[in-house]
Amino acid sequence: MNLYKYAIIFLASPIIAGCSKKSSTPPPVEQVPQPFILSSLKVDGKNDGVVYYNVNRSAVIKFYFPVAIDHSSIDNAVSFKDNAGSSVPYTPTFENNDSTLVIQSSSALQPISKYALAVSTSLRSQSKGLLHSAVSLSLTTSIDSSDKFPQITDSALLTLVQQQTFKYFWDFGHPTSGMARERDQSNDIVTTGGTGFGVMSILTGISRNFISRVDGLNRITQIVNFLQTKAHSYHGAFPHWINGATGDTQPFSQQDDGADLVETSYLLQGLLCARQFFNSNSDATEISLRNNINLIWNAVEWNWFRQNNQDVLYWHWSPDYNWAINMGIRGWNEAMIVYVLAASSNTDSIPKSVYDNGWAVNGSIQNGQSYFGIQLPLGPEMGGPLFFAHYSFLGINPNNLSDAYANYWTQNTNHTKINYSYCVTNTSKFNGYSNICWGLTASDQQNGYDAHSPTNDNGTISPTAAISSLPYTPVESMNALKFFYYKLGDRIWGQYGFKDAFNLTDIWFASSYLAIDQGPQIVMIENYRSGLLWNLFMSCPEIKKGMKRLGFQSPNL
């Protein structure tokens, strides 16, 4: 047994010795591919992070890495897509010993369009390492700088804009009432204030020979007859919206289902201009129109809207909710015309104290601060939306007009220049803002509507803002108008003139037209060119008397 035991030990010894010899040699170390990072990138030679605007249509995008890139990984790692999600063909090339990846689209990109370029972590180095973090770029291409329409003289361009925009009120006027539809998708909903702007546009159309005097007279007569015989009114004031076929009130909101004194004032501003324009003493239709306009004008119970004789006028009254909205008309905003008309009424004029205590808020209407080195006499910080300088001043002539609170030419001009300077300075870095692309006011925006201003800005430019400011900033406004027409005309010029708004940051262009944005363009261009509507409105004897009662001074009074 012992011999057998020793034999086993002896025979096993070589095996043990062999194992001991093998384990003394260390196994080979497996090399793990090392991840790598993006060192830097450039788009058209610029490094601005991951969001780029004004990108060339033949953009060159370079990604710089610290290692050489595996060419075969590009197809799976690089994604180049347009805003609709469709792939963009591109050509990859390499520089710097394959450590720089160059991406360029195979054909020219579309102008004013968004693209997304991404490099995923499946990108490999030639040593088989993977990109540590994915990279995603947002690219917005530049505007096509070519003219979209033939160049014409500035005067011819102003006429073209007026004539094209006029079609909104003429061709698209409601067939039954003749009134202006709220917007181009409104069907039977017509707007009271927009119709006032439309009446002034028709007078401009006659003056510019877009239509005959007789045709214009007949259309305005149609509007006035509808207002008298079908449209509902409340203490002489009309609602914001009306059904253009039936005359029924179309609620603007749940409690806003009755009188709207501001919208009514815009209507009356236009109707009084028409009364002064159709001044024949031999034409029975013109005489009848004047008489009927006076009936509408004299029917407004201005003092009723003081809500129990307060020293302020109220915007709304409802037959169902009475004064529930309870919105006093206090300045500075778009509603100075309300107080001018209320003081000018032949039948129910308000005392000056309502203007001073209500509208001017005992002097609190004044601002006096400077923005961009420009002093603002009245109103909110940086002036508010530009329609403040337009709606009341389609008829009221601000030239050399002043009262205890401001010179109104200075007010409107400085307000406009502040709006312009804000856009040119562009501290918020919205794409496209410049000395030829500016103008913030109330308009449609992507997914809604808002009153845009320097203190409420999301990158939305409204053509009506700059164009309707032509009397105040003729050079700046004309430059913007030409940019809108010649450079963006393929996107924003249509059957009724300039579409409502656009946003070059979000790459959004409105398809809509609004009466309250189209009308001021025609009217303020005309006031700039001839003073037509200013002269008509300021020629009303009761307006002269009423404005003097409020303390206004002007050679036109």
- Quick: pLDDT tens for 259-280: 999 999 999 999 999 999 999 9
**Reported confidence tier of residue 25, pLDDT bands at 50, 70, 90:** low
pLDDT at 21: 44
258 and 319: one domain? yes
Q: What's the token pair of residue 44?
A: 């058209």
Assess if residue 466 is contained within a domain: yes
Assess if residue 26 is contained within a domain: no
71 and 189: one domain? no
Chain position carrying tokens 């605007």: 53
**Reported confidence tier of residue 557, pLDDT bands at 50, 70, 90:** very high
3-state helix, strand, coil in the chain (%, to 5): 40, 20, 40
46 and 187: one domain? no
Task: Note every long-range contact of 376-381, with CB atoms under 8 Å and residues 24 or more positions apart, other chains counting.
Answer: 376/411, 376/414, 376/415, 376/418, 377/405, 377/406, 377/407, 377/410, 377/411, 377/414, 378/331, 378/332, 378/405, 378/406, 378/411, 379/331, 379/332, 379/333, 379/411, 379/415, 380/332, 380/455, 381/454, 381/455
pLDDT at 59: 94
Domain boundary pick from 141, 169, 194: 141
What's the domain range around 80? 40-141
Ordered DSSP codes for 216-248: HHHHHHHHHHHHHHTS--BTTBPPSEEETTT--
- The answer to whether the CB of 352 falls within 8 A of the CB of 423 is no
How far apart are the C-alpha atoms of 83 and 143, rounded to whole Å?
A: 16
Per cent of the chain over pLDDT 90 is 93
Domain boundary pick from 141, 168, 199: 141
Find the Cα–Cα–Cα–Cα dihedral 390, 396, 400, 405, rounded to 10°. Answer: -80
214 and 121: one domain? no
**Reported confidence tier of residue 7, pLDDT bands at 50, 70, 90:** very low
158 and 132: one domain? no
- What CATH number did the domain enclosing 72 receive? 2.60.40.3710
253 and 136: one domain? no
pLDDT at 44: 95
pLDDT at 366: 97
176 and 67: one domain? no
- The answer to whether the CB of 351 falls within 8 A of the CB of 313 is no
- Quick: pLDDT tens for 171-208: 999 999 999 999 998 899 999 999 999 999 999 999 99
Q: Which has the closest alpha carbon to 536: 205, 269, 214?
A: 269
Average pLDDT over residues 243-269: 97
Per cent of the chain over pLDDT 70 is 95
114 and 210: one domain? no
313 and 238: one domain? yes
* Average pLDDT score, the chain: 94
The helix/strand/coil state of 124 is strand
Average pLDDT over residues 34-47: 96
- The answer to whether the CB of 493 falls within 8 A of the CB of 129 is no
pLDDT at 11: 34
pLDDT at 15: 35
- Contacts of residue 215, Cβ cutoff 8 Å, sequence gap at least 6: none
Q: What's the token pair of residue 313?
A: 């006028």
280 and 345: one domain? yes
Assess if residue 12 is contained within a domain: no
How far apart are the C-alpha atoms of 517 and 385, rounded to whole Å?
A: 13
Average pLDDT over residues 414-423: 98
Chain position carrying tokens 């006032």: 196
Assess if residue 72 is contained within a domain: yes
- Quick: pLDDT tens for 459-511: 999 999 999 999 999 999 999 999 999 999 999 999 999 999 999 999 999 99
How far apart are the C-alpha atoms of 532 and 525, rounded to whole Å?
A: 10
Average pLDDT over residues 98-120: 96
pTM: 0.92
- What CATH number did the domain enclosing 370 receive? 1.50.10.140
- The answer to whether the CB of 474 falls within 8 A of the CB of 401 is no
Assess if residue 376 is contained within a domain: yes
Examine the pLDDT at 69 and tell me if it is beyond 70.
yes
How many structural domains comprise the chain?
2
Average pLDDT over residues 16-29: 53
- The answer to whether the CB of 451 falls within 8 A of the CB of 419 is no
Assess if residue 386 is contained within a domain: yes
pLDDT at 542: 98
337 and 441: one domain? yes
**Reported confidence tier of residue 20, pLDDT bands at 50, 70, 90:** very low
How far apart are the C-alpha atoms of 79 and 101, rounded to whole Å?
A: 13
pLDDT at 179: 98
Average pLDDT over residues 47-76: 96
Domain boundary pick from 141, 167, 190: 141
- Quick: pLDDT tens for 281-315: 999 999 999 999 999 999 999 999 999 999 999 99
Q: What's the token pair of residue 2?
A: 């012992």
Q: Which has the closest alpha carbon to 34: 82, 77, 68?
A: 68
Assess if residue 2 is contained within a domain: no
pLDDT at 10: 32
Q: Distance of alpha carbon 113 from its chain centroid, rounded? A: 19
pLDDT at 31: 72
Between 334 and 21, where is the model more confident? 334
Assess if residue 9 is contained within a domain: no
485 and 420: one domain? yes
Examine the pLDDT at 8 and tell me if it is beyond 70.
no
pLDDT at 123: 97
